[in-house]
Amino acid sequence: MHRQGQILLCKDFKFKDGLIADKLFVVLDTAVTDCSCLVIITTKNPSRYAYATPGCNSTKSVFYIPVDCNQDFSEDTYIQLPRIFELDIDALLSSKQISFIGHISDMCFSQFKKCLRKFKYDISPQYWAKIYQAT
């Protein structure tokens, strides 16, 4: 079962444009009964996020987590707002295409969700309900 704040490594993730690459995601919802999982994509590429400061950078559409924040990322990581995907977690786990590699602390995840609220009109109401149902 997945829960909010977990970090997933997806091997050979296929993007809409056909590009395939290993990607890290952060889980946005907690499993109740279904096998799908809401995730948000991350990047380690700082080129689009010059001068980002740790935490919420809503004008750059990113939540920046430096490696020294000890959040189970091996490098500085940028959570790209609001790039949300729905994954069939059971299928990906059984095919060993995806694995849980860590977790963001509750405090950091709470700050992230506060930042994500600034993008409410960019997130489908169905996803919004899953992300914020417990808050």
Q: Mind listing the pLDDT tens digit for each residue in 39-56? A: 999 999 999 898 999 999
Q: What does the pLDDT look like over 69-92, one tens digit per residue?
A: 889 999 999 999 999 989 888 888
Cα angle vertex 69, ends 75, 9, to 5°?
Answer: 45
What is the pLDDT averaged over residues 17-24? 92
Average pLDDT, the chain: 90
Q: What does the pLDDT look like over 97-112, one tens digit per residue?
A: 899 999 999 999 999 9
Is the four-CA dihedral 117, 122, 123, 129 of positive or negative sign?
positive
Cα angle vertex 62, ends 58, 67, to 5°?
Answer: 130
Which domains does the chain possess? Answer: 6-132 (2.30.30.110)
* Pair 61, 81: CB distance under 8 Å: yes
pTM of the model: 0.91
DSSP 101: E
For position 33, what pLDDT does the model report? Answer: 58
